[in-house]
Amino acid sequence: MIPRSEIQVIAINEYWSVIEKFIKITKFSTVLFCRGNIDNIIGVAFMYDLFQNPESIREIIQPITYTPENKKCNELLQEFRKNNTSIAIVIDEYGGTAGIVTTEDLMEELFGELEELPILEDRPIRALNQSTWQVSAAESIENVNEILNLEIPSGNYETLSGFTKLGKS
C-alpha cells in the first residue's frame, strides 16, 4: 500500500491548465481527484485516456474503488479483475484515507517482489547463454544479421521491431 502521506491528489474543480501542470510535474500514470481534501477522493484518471484529447477532465475521470484496510489481497485482486480496475483507496477504521493500493502492490504481496525487465546495459545485442540472445527491438536488421549470423530478409522495415510487426517472425 502507498501510505496517505505519499498520495498526491488534485481538486476536481481545478482549471484544466492547473491539472496539466500537475500531471507534468508528478509524472504519475494515474491522477487522483478529490472534492475538498484527501479523505474525499472521487475519481481517477489514467494518462492513456489523455490521448483522447478531452475538453474536460470530467470526460475521462473514472469512479474510484474503496476498500477497507483488512480486506484480503486475493479478494481485492478478484474485485479488481471483476470491476476491470487497477487501483483502490484504502480506508481506515474511521472512514478516512489510509492509502492507495494497486494491482502491482497486490501481486507483490502475493508472489513476492516483481523484478523489472533487465536493461540491455547499452548493448543492443548480448548473449544470455550459449544459445539465447537478448536483442533490442530497435536494433537494425542489418546489425542483427551480421552479429548473429542470421538471414532475416530485407523488406519494408529497418528494425527488428518493424520486422516482427509485419508478422514475419
Do 97 and 131 lie in one domain? The reply is: no
Domain-located, residue 56: yes
pTM as predicted: 0.64
Of 146, 137, 1, 28, residue with least CA distance to 10: 28
Predicted confidence (pLDDT) per residue in 42-72, tens digit: 999 988 887 788 888 888 999 999 999 999 9
Q: What is d(CA 89, CA 67) in angstroms, rounded to the nearest whole number?
A: 6
Task: Give every strand in the sheet of 9-11, ordered side by side.
Answer: 9-11, 30-34, 41-46, 62-63
Query: Would you mind telling me the total number of residues written for the chain in this entry?
Result: 169
Q: Answer whether residue 57 is part of any domain.
A: yes
Residue 18 has pLDDT above 70, yes or no: yes
What is the dihedral angle through the alpha carbons of 23, 27, 29, 34, rounded to the nearest 10 degrees?
-40
In angstroms, the CA 1 to CA 24 distance is: 24
User: CA-based Rg of the chain, rounded to a whole angstrom?
Assistant: 22
- State the residue range of the domain holding 34: 2-111
Residue 116 belongs to a domain: no
Both 11 and 94 in a single domain?
A: yes
Q: Considering the domain boundaries, does residue 135 fall inside one?
A: yes
Does 144 or 32 have the greater pLDDT score?
32
The CATH number of whichever domain residue 65 belongs to comes to 3.10.580.10
Q: What percent of the chain lies above the pLDDT cut of 90?
A: 38
Report the number of distinct structural domains present in the chain: 2
Query: Same domain, yes or no, for 98 and 135?
Result: no
Residues 73 and 104 in one domain: yes
Q: Convert the pLDDT of each residue in 103-155 to its tens digit.
A: 988 888 888 876 665 554 556 777 777 677 788 888 888 888 888 888 888 88
The answer to whether 145 and 152 are in contact (CB under 8 A) is yes
Output the average pLDDT for the chain: 85
Identify the CA nearest to 4 among candidates 87, 99, 90, 89: 99
The pLDDT, as a whole number, for residue 169 is 45
Matching residue, cell 501510505: 3
* Cβ(43)–Cβ(35) below 8 Å: no
